[in-house]
Amino acid sequence: MLNKQEKKYDVVIYGASGFTGKLVLEYFVEKYADSDVSWALAGRNVVKLMEVASAHNAPQNIDIMYADGNDEASIQQLVAQSAVVLTTVGPYQIYGENLVKACAESGTGYVDLCGEPVWMHQMIEKYQASAQQSGAKIIFSCGFDSIPFDLGVFHLQEKAIKESGAPIEYVKGRVRKMQGKFSGGTAASLKATLKAAFADKTLMSVLKNPYSLAGDSVAVEQPDGDKPYFDETLNSWVAPFIMAAINTRNIHRSNMLLGHMYSNTFKYDEMLLTGPGEQGEKIAHAVASDKSLSSDSGPKPGEGPSKEERDNGFYDVMFLGKDNNDKTHIVSVSATCDPGYASTSKMLAESAICLVENYPTIAGGIYTPAPSLGNALIKRLENNAGLRFKIEA
């Protein structure tokens, strides 16, 4: 067993009967069925979980627990047996607080797929102190939002600091190519976030603030990533990237948790490359006006692409900036599978395993991936999950 906390299970997959939860289960069956990792399943419907476990060839002796986010007693029983809880049960602002609370108070590890900045801000305010006191390590956003972006910036800054002695003060994140579908869970989370923010002006201010997760960081005016423009340095039109809203906030939190390793005047923007010329401009404006994810026609929770679609997906994200010697540094993060499902489920699973392995070395608190798992997670993702972290310049 990997377990360093004397818990019954290293990892419990909570929500394993949902679409993404099933993919996490498949990955555990493939990678860890015959390993020294002890793992189990949990959710509201034990019968359904048993059927899912059987259908996905889980070990016959796999343990299955009842747990409901609205039933505090069941959540406490889940947490009591888990070194790390891996949860896919969202929207987290509706179903997630009792689990975060229980983990923070008991010292239990936690990883999720959350891309809900308002809820994350609230959880940090409520439970950061408890997590620090108990030694709990709670890591938000361990999927496509925000691991490739958070670790991509971290990787770039480590390179620049090593070579020039100082960080890059302005980093551009540019999605060069991507094929895949956003999940119904992502759509539901976005709708719930917008509904809450429009109902409460204080929440809207949190949603609009790029430093909303970055504690007492001194605010520096950030680049405008809300409108299409022609980026002359890349000879391409760029359009707003929908995940930038959460990724930017997580990256500023990482900078804060790393002791402002990226500098106190760090700037970041994240956009989608759409190409040069009239065609690039046309695509950029079409992307900027697309509101389908937040509409009623968007994907529903539990819906997702076929295996063929997941296998044929890909993404390639570039991070670049100039150091204090005016040298341009470029790194990229890429994978050859659907970002929102196939790659996300692998990243979440490896984050949980990485947290178990490194638990004693991390102080208690609420984290983003880079300051908590950093290079250890990069190595696992390259070795196991099909991600590539490439130094290009």
pLDDT tens per residue across span 120-163: 999 999 999 999 999 999 999 999 999 999 999 999 999 999 99
The amino acid that residue 295 corresponds to is: S
Q: Are 338 and 173 in contact (CB under 8 A)?
A: no
User: Are 333 and 388 in contact, with CB atoms under 8 Å apart?
Assistant: yes
Expressed in angstroms, the distance from the first to the final Cα of the chain is: 41
CA nearest to 181, candidates 296, 23, 300: 300
Identify the pLDDT of residue 203: 74
Closest Cα to residue 377, out of 366, 392, 361, 391?
A: 361
- pLDDT surpasses 80 at 73: yes
* Mean of all residue pLDDT scores within the chain: 92
Q: How many helices (H) and strands (E) does the chain have?
A: 14, 14
Edge-first strand listing for the sheet containing 170-179:
229-231, 236-240, 267-275, 170-179, 314-322, 328-335, 388-391
Confidence of residue 304 (pLDDT cuts 50, 70, 90): confident
74-116: pLDDT as tens digits:
999 999 999 999 999 988 999 999 999 999 999 999 999 999 9
Whole-number Cα distances in Å, 229 to 123, 312, 332? 36, 30, 22
HSE value, Cβ hemisphere, 13 Å, CA-based, for 95: 18
Question: What pTM was estimated for this model as a whole?
Answer: 0.94
Q: Is 82 strand, coil or helix? A: strand
CA-to-CA dists, residue 11 to 27, 87, 355, angstroms: 13, 10, 10
User: Which tens digit of pLDDT belongs to each residue from 28-39?
Assistant: 999 999 899 999
pLDDT at 311: 84
Residue 294 pLDDT greater than 80, yes or no:
no
- Cα-based distances in Å from 390 to 183, 204, 250, 334, 348: 27, 37, 22, 8, 21
Strands (DSSP E) contained in the chain are: 9-14, 39-43, 64-66, 82-87, 109-112, 137-139, 170-179, 229-231, 236-240, 267-275, 314-322, 328-335, 365-367, 388-391
The strands making up 39-43's β-sheet, listed across from edge to edge, are 64-66, 39-43, 9-14, 82-87, 109-112, 137-139, 365-367
* Model pLDDT for residues 182-209, shown as the tens digit of each residue: 666 666 666 677 677 677 777 778 888 9
Span 207-224, average pLDDT: 91
Residue 298 has pLDDT above 80, yes or no: no
Contacts (Cβ under 8 Å, ≥6 apart) of 301 = 18, 19, 184, 185, 187, 188
